[in-house]
Structure 1
Amino acid sequence: MLCLQINKTYLISLLVLTLFSSCDAIFNKKEEKEPLARVGDVYLYKEDVATLLDNTISEQDSAIFVSNYINNWASKQLLLSKSKINLPEEKLSEFDRLVDDYKSDLYTRAYVEALVFNAQDTSISTSQLRSYYDKEKENFKLSEKLVQLRFVEIPTQFLDKEGVKRRMDNWSSSDKEYLDSIAVQFNKIHFNDSVWVSVSRVTEEIPPLALLNENDYLKKSQFFELQDSLEVYLGKVTDVLEVNDVAPYEYILPEIRQLIINRRRLDYVKKLKTEIIDEAIKKKEFEIYDKN
């Protein structure tokens, strides 16, 4: 009987020693973080800074960077510590609430954006675009004057300037063909007079035009000739839309497309919020208590 008791005690002691040895071995395997600096109970570790270092910079520059980083980190920690001591309690509570709200917004916004990105349908038919424009066209008022025009920029020494002027003004099929055939002699051309262009864009392309004189030249059916020290600019305005006129469909098309996509996004997010609450209620993860 005594022998059995001794053996039992021996086995328990051996088991305890084995456990302690195993734990010690496990603990020894855990790598200790190497601290770079300390402010109070807060440590800055080498691995925190290592990810910020660029392998392409020299050892001297790395040392300077680490030194500056440590000093900046320390100053922030010290100021933070002082602020927690010296700021009023209600102000600290307010800041903590703002930090929590900001953190929550970051997480939820990133998650929602990922869901929207995966589910978003960016395909929009021509009929959908046109329908949206017809329904909302009164909201699409121009903030800048638009023109339809054709123009060419030619050197001042160009030999047949008068011929180009005549054909630019007449604009028959044969005139277009002829001007296209000699287009390589022009510095700039814009023959697509069905496209609406903002006045600011026109004045960029034709330097002698400016906001102060554009009303004299950019008038419907107006032919103009302008010149600077190097070039001559010949143009014919075919149509004009003024500020506060309804923006033409073709001009506003990219904006309409983006508006439709944005509206789909808002509808999806609204639906997502409703569905996630309904699902949480069904799973009993969300409950509102009756205050009565």
Structure 2
Amino acid sequence: MIGKYAFAGLVAMVMWLTACTHSGDSISDEPLVRINETILTKGMVYQAIPDGLSKEDSVIFAQDYINRWIRSELMISKADLNLTPEEKNVDQLLEEYRRSLLIHQYQQKLLEQKYSPLITGSEIKEYYTEMVDNFKLSRPIIKGVFVIVPQSAPNINVLKELYRSDDSEDLIKLEAYCFQNAKKYEVFLDHWLVIDDINKWLPEPIDRPERFIKNNTYYHTTDSLYQYYLSIKEYKLSNEVAPVEFVESKIKAILLNKKRLEFIKQLETDLYDEALKNKSITFY
């Protein structure tokens, strides 16, 4: 929606906003876009940009934010012109939504506090056994070791030996080495990771992960700054049944939801009885 000349101005605007944060200057209230009587200022766009974005990503985010603001304001203007006063009165709807949201959040909080600790491992395993066909993997998962070190890291040959080892003492040595030298270090021998969780850290994602996992135990690659080491100790492929520990949290959520209706009914009854006892309810 933003034209090429406006976009050039947007780039300059974002760079100026970034400079303001470094210099300590206040963010300008200078208008950026105006639709009828409504104005979007530079400061409003700046406040919307998430922290930590590069200048390039900030420009992209700001462009999208402005486009969405323009579309929204145009739609609001049309709605304001074409709806009757009764149709535009949404106060009751907003209040009903606010009440429903608060009730839901309170119920969910109590449900998790009361029932979540009471869901046992045996309940989880029983449900898993009964519904095992519903827990087929959509992506491969692995257990292993993953390390990223700078190209300048010392004693690389030691690292190459340690990350492949199954010996517990070597894992301790690996941890000590990585504490001093690694950008990222993860030993996930006691839990599963989706292969995508590793791919997002690699300079180039592993191609054909199913085939790769079946045929490789160790993987090493580099880019201009880092070296990447992956050791695969166990794996499960797509369409295999997920291990129970991998889907435990999902099963727990399902079991909690099954208790939800019973819990809410009892909660409402308890609150009603408590209010009568405390004389919080007055009948006329």
> What TM-score, normalized by structure 1, do the two folds share?
0.52
- Sort the Cα spacing of 1:177 and 1:106 in 2 relative to 1 into closer, same or farther, 3 A: closer
- Residue 186 of structure 1 pairs with residue 182 of structure 2: yes
- Matched pairs, number: 188
Alpha-carbon distance in 1 for matches of 2:185, 2:102? 49
Which whole-Å CA distance do the structure 1 matches of 2:205 and 2:108 have between them?
A: 44
Percent identity over the alignment? Answer: 19
What is the deviation of 1:196? 0.7
| Contact 1:208–1:227 (CA under 8 A) maintained in structure 2 | no
Supply the distance in 2 between the matched residues of 1:253 and 1:117 (Cα, whole angstroms): 19
Of the candidates 203, 206, 217, which is equivalent to residue 207 of structure 1? 203
- Which position in structure 2 is the counterpart of 1:135? 130
Equivalent residue, structure 2, for 1:198: 194
Change beyond 3 A, Cα 1:217–1:164: farther
Q: Is the 8 A contact 2:165 2:171 kept in 1?
A: no
Q: Which residue, out of 84, 89, 95, partners 1:77? A: 84
After TM superposition, the structure 1 = structure 2 runs for residues 1-292 of structure 1, keeping only pairs within 5 Å, are 64=37, 73=80, 75-77=82-84, 120=111, 121-123=114-116, 124-183=119-178, 184-210=180-206, 212-215=207-210, 217-219=212-214, 222-266=217-261
Cα deviations by residue, 1:22-56 (Å, 9 ceiling, x for unpaired): xxxxxxxxxxxxxxxxxxxxxxxxxxxxxxxxxxx
Partner amino acid, structure 1, of 2:82: S
In 2, Cα distance between the equivalents of 1:213 and 1:119? 45
CA distance in 2, matches of 1:154, 1:112: 49
TM-aligned CA distance change 1:76 to 1:130, over 3 Å: same
What corresponds to 2:5 in structure 1? none
Normalising by structure 2, report the TM-score: 0.53
For 2:202 and 2:77, how far apart are their aligned partners in 1? Answer: 56
The Cα of 1:70 is off from its aligned counterpart by 10
Partner residue, 2:49: none
Pairwise CA RMSD: 4.1
1:161 positional shift:
1.5
Deviation at 1:215, TM superposition (A): 4.3
Distance (Å, rounded) in 1 between the aligned partners of 2:105 and 2:218? 53
Letter in 2 for 1:161: I
- 1:196 is aligned with what amino acid? W
What is the alpha-carbon distance in structure 2 between the residues aligned to residue 173 and residue 223 of structure 1?
18
Distance change >3 Å, CA 270–CA 156, structure 1 → 2:
same
CA gap 1:158/1:113 in 2 versus in 1, 3 angstroms: closer
Conserved 8 A contact 1:226-1:232: yes
Any idea what SS the aligned residue of 2:231 has?
A: strand
Cα distance between partner residues in 2 of 1:154 and 1:190: 12
* Structure 1 unmatched runs, 5+: 1-56, 81-101, 273-292
AA aligned to 1:198 is V
Q: Could you report, residue by residue, the CA deviation over 1:149-177 in whole angstroms, capped at 9, with x for unpaired residues?
A: 21211112323212211121123233112
Query: Does the CA-based 8 Å contact 2:221-2:227 persist in structure 1?
Result: yes
Cα 1:216–1:166 shift into 2, 3 Å: farther
Shift of 1:246: 0.9
Q: What CA distance in whole angstroms lies between the structure 2 residues aligned with 1:190 and 1:76?
A: 57
- SS state of the match for residue 237, structure 1? strand
Q: Which residue of 2 aligns with 1:290?
A: none
Whichever residue aligns with residue 139 of structure 1, its letter is N
How far did 1:226 drift? Answer: 1.0
